[in-house]
Chains A and B, each alone.
Chain A
């Protein structure tokens, strides 16, 4: 097997995550799909690290994880406060950005 298959898997997972962001309305699930996309990227980074024979790709993946953790914290806080004010976790309910 060619390790390139890891990249194909990564691309597939990324696409699934992106599609999920587009079709789900529950903010939490949308958020989870974003996490899925991030993880797909991480897989690609790790594969690249193996491909080039150095650890920089893994470092980037590590930083991605840290940033993702920060993002999750803030994102979930936003979802919670959104739910408090609107009693809904639907991203479509927060649709004030229009004329």
Chain B
């Protein structure tokens, strides 16, 4: 059974290799090869899942040692895979949603001449992501981590003929690099502290190290998570990453890759449990990001960017939950899974809308699309209800639990975090309702473009709608399925551990408050966008709106602080280099040059002059000999 774990990764890896090296002769079947191998991986995952279910909760960990990767004395790195409940959850999410999105892409990318390459990249991403979640040590995890970064870069810049896409890809890559630095430093710290970076020894004996070291490791891991999961302060790349094809946004930048940070924190739970300061930092980052993303999502007119803000915000929820410790780990993962369903569904719906609207992304040019594309409307609507936490749907269960857990943190922190989460729920309701209303309700606002092509909104082909329907089903029933009888809790508990906090308010109160927030958010949105007609050109808006449109000035901040600062630093360093370093070097050279110019006069070519030097030297030698004897 362990060999299947390797096959999980091998199938998409084979697909990537075949598709990327196969050449044009695979153009006609390439997308089906990619989809098939992705589905094969999903099937392997299901078989393994069934196998795990057949075992006791304590024995649900499979280890597969592939080979000794770096067999150096004192530095052992093994290519070992670990399949436990946590990675199993991710495997099913990645391969399941991944396969659906492969299928969707067959339709979505139909007219793209580089479709084969696209599927190759998607398979590469799957392989790397599976390696990330299946790795049994941090170094192998790092390989997967970099692999998904590479796939993300390639896919964001897939339409590289657009300068904006190329720039966005570079931006994502660079910002991710900052986070990757954090991960590599964390791994080095682990090696320095524990002498190894395998999960077993590090997490099993986490408390052996001093709290200071654990805090350092935790903060570095948090930095890594921030980079990959687009959390403040490394959030700026996610909005631009929407330049990639929509299936990519759905799979990588909503459902799976961006949640790798959550996985990392939950996986390293033992470290964070022993480092309360690092945990606090995690919760702060999560709380700030969930509000940040939500506010950005409110102001965007680009449907994908609004969803990207939402993604940031929802991952903020997960990070917040992960930062709460054992109270929240399970709910972080649960929200991750349900979010994977509904956010992928929402993105696919957005892609379907764009597909029908000549790739228009401005929601102000949509309107009233519900009659034109009913399937998209229904699936998108179900995803919408799920994300705002409509009672009974996925988001209701998972998000509610996180808010409860935040309150259960206790003390002032609990109140602040819980309040932020509640506020976030209200804003989520507002911006999602806004998206819904601007896209599917109201009057049609689209105009012929400059070439006179008026969009003819139409329903997408079945190959695209089927994945949307499946994901919508997941969005509706996933949360209930997981929560009833605490199925998900019991499943994950052996890996992550769980403890009930002491909430100052009862669970029903929290649910009630969430409902109130929900109603308020929806109400405001309805008042603003439902009752009034939406202007086709964005009004100037308040200061906050304008700031939010500019992603709350994140790029300006980066520009002023990092770019300008870097430029100034570089300039001053260049100045120092030119004056001090070059001065010393050139001065030395000039000094030697001048000295040589004078010394070369000694080289007059006359043998007799040289003979004088020799003779003088001989005299000195005699003198030295005599002196030595005298001493």
Residues of A within 8 A of B (CB): 18, 21-23, 25, 91-92, 94-99
Per the bound structure, the CA–CA distance linking A99 and B600 in Å amounts to: 8
Interface presence of B615 (CB below 8 A):
yes
Partner of A95, one of B600, B604, B611: B604
Can you report 24 A-B residue pairs in the complex whose CB atoms are below 8 A from each other? A18-B615, A21-B611, A21-B615, A22-B611, A22-B612, A25-B608, A91-B606, A91-B607, A91-B608, A92-B606, A92-B607, A92-B608, A94-B607, A95-B604, A95-B605, A95-B606, A95-B607, A96-B605, A97-B603, A97-B607, A98-B603, A98-B604, A98-B605, A99-B603
Per the bound structure, the CA–CA distance linking A41 and B482 in Å amounts to: 109
Given contacts A95-B606, A98-B605, 18 further A-B contacts (CB under 8 A): A18-B615, A21-B608, A21-B615, A22-B612, A22-B615, A23-B608, A25-B608, A91-B607, A94-B607, A95-B604, A95-B607, A96-B605, A97-B605, A97-B607, A98-B600, A98-B604, A99-B600, A99-B603
Query: Which residue of B is nearest A21, CB measured?
Result: B611
Residues of B within 8 A of A98 (CB): 600, 603-605
Query: Which residue of B is nearest A95, CB measured?
Result: B605
Per the bound structure, the CA–CA distance linking A95 and B607 in Å amounts to: 7
Closest beta carbon of chain B to A44's beta carbon, Å: 14
Residues of B within 8 A of A95 (CB): 604-607
Residues of A within 8 A of B606 (CB): 91-92, 95
Chain B interface helix/strand/loop/mixed: helix
* Interface 1/0 per residue, B601-627 and A, CB below 8 Å: 001111110011001000000000000
Query: Which residue of B is nearest A98, CB measured?
Result: B605
Query: Which residue of A is nearest B604, CB measured?
Result: A98
Closest beta carbon of chain B to A96's beta carbon, Å: 6
Query: Which residue of B is nearest A99, CB measured?
Result: B600
Per the bound structure, the CA–CA distance linking A96 and B607 in Å amounts to: 10
Residues of B within 8 A of A96 (CB): 605
Per the bound structure, the CA–CA distance linking A21 and B612 in Å amounts to: 9
Question: Judging by beta carbons under 8 Å apart, are B605 and A22 in contact?
Answer: no
How many chain B residues have a CB neighbour from A under 8 Å?
Answer: 10
Residues of A within 8 A of B608 (CB): 21-23, 25, 91-92
Closest beta carbon of chain B to A48's beta carbon, Å: 17
Per the bound structure, the CA–CA distance linking A52 and B396 in Å amounts to: 115
Closest beta carbon of chain A to B49's beta carbon, Å: 84
Residues of A within 8 A of B612 (CB): 22
Residues of B within 8 A of A21 (CB): 608, 611, 615
Residues of A within 8 A of B607 (CB): 91-92, 94-95, 97
CB within 8 Å of A: which B85-143 residues: none
Closest beta carbon of chain B to A29's beta carbon, Å: 12
Per the bound structure, the CA–CA distance linking A31 and B600 in Å amounts to: 27
Per the bound structure, the CA–CA distance linking A94 and B612 in Å amounts to: 17
Closest beta carbon of chain A to B607's beta carbon, Å: 5
Residues of B within 8 A of A94 (CB): 607
Per the bound structure, the CA–CA distance linking A92 and B608 in Å amounts to: 8
CB within 8 Å of A: which B47-89 residues: none
Per the bound structure, the CA–CA distance linking A17 and B396 in Å amounts to: 112
Per the bound structure, the CA–CA distance linking A22 and B603 in Å amounts to: 16
Closest beta carbon of chain A to B620's beta carbon, Å: 14
Closest beta carbon of chain B to A82's beta carbon, Å: 12
Per the bound structure, the CA–CA distance linking A88 and B604 in Å amounts to: 19
Query: Which residue of A is nearest B602, CB measured?
Result: A98
Per the bound structure, the CA–CA distance linking A96 and B497 in Å amounts to: 89
Closest beta carbon of chain A to B613's beta carbon, Å: 10
Query: Which residue of B is nearest A19, CB measured?
Result: B615
Closest beta carbon of chain B to A97's beta carbon, Å: 5
Q: Which of B603, B607, B615 has the most CB of A within 10 A?
A: B607
Closest beta carbon of chain B to A19's beta carbon, Å: 9
Per the bound structure, the CA–CA distance linking A91 and B600 in Å amounts to: 20
Residues of A within 8 A of B605 (CB): 95-98
Closest beta carbon of chain A to B478's beta carbon, Å: 87
Closest beta carbon of chain A to B603's beta carbon, Å: 5
Shortest 6 CB-CB distances between A and B: which pairs?
A98-B605, A95-B605, A97-B605, A98-B603, A95-B606, A91-B607
Closest beta carbon of chain A to B592's beta carbon, Å: 15
Query: Which residue of B is nearest A24, CB measured?
Result: B608
Query: Which residue of B is nearest A18, CB measured?
Result: B615
Per the bound structure, the CA–CA distance linking A34 and B604 in Å amounts to: 22
Residues of B within 8 A of A99 (CB): 600, 603
* Interface 1/0 per residue, B262-298 and A, CB below 8 Å: 0000000000000000000000000000000000000
Query: Which residue of B is nearest A92, CB measured?
Result: B606
Closest beta carbon of chain A to B222's beta carbon, Å: 66
Query: Which residue of A is nearest B607, CB measured?
Result: A91
Per the bound structure, the CA–CA distance linking A42 and B327 in Å amounts to: 103
Per the bound structure, the CA–CA distance linking A92 and B610 in Å amounts to: 11
Per the bound structure, the CA–CA distance linking A83 and B611 in Å amounts to: 21
Residues of B within 8 A of A91 (CB): 606-608
Closest beta carbon of chain B to A91's beta carbon, Å: 5
Per the bound structure, the CA–CA distance linking A28 and B522 in Å amounts to: 116
Closest beta carbon of chain A to B418's beta carbon, Å: 85
Query: Which residue of B is nearest A93, CB measured?
Result: B606
Closest beta carbon of chain B to A7's beta carbon, Å: 14
Closest beta carbon of chain B to A21's beta carbon, Å: 6
Per the bound structure, the CA–CA distance linking A94 and B615 in Å amounts to: 20
Query: Which residue of B is nearest A96, CB measured?
Result: B605
Per the bound structure, the CA–CA distance linking A92 and B605 in Å amounts to: 8
Residues of A within 8 A of B615 (CB): 18, 21-22
Query: Which residue of B is nearest A97, CB measured?
Result: B605
CB within 8 Å of A: which B197-233 residues: none
Per the bound structure, the CA–CA distance linking A97 and B615 in Å amounts to: 19
Query: Which residue of B is nearest A30, CB measured?
Result: B608
CB within 8 Å of A: which B571-623 residues: 600, 603-608, 611-612, 615
Per the bound structure, the CA–CA distance linking A21 and B613 in Å amounts to: 12
Residues of B within 8 A of A92 (CB): 606-608
Residues of A within 8 A of B603 (CB): 97-99
Per the bound structure, the CA–CA distance linking A99 and B607 in Å amounts to: 14
Query: Which residue of A is nearest B616, CB measured?
Result: A22
Closest beta carbon of chain A to B117's beta carbon, Å: 64
Per the bound structure, the CA–CA distance linking A69 and B574 in Å amounts to: 68
Query: Which residue of B is nearest A27, CB measured?
Result: B607
Per the bound structure, the CA–CA distance linking A98 and B610 in Å amounts to: 11
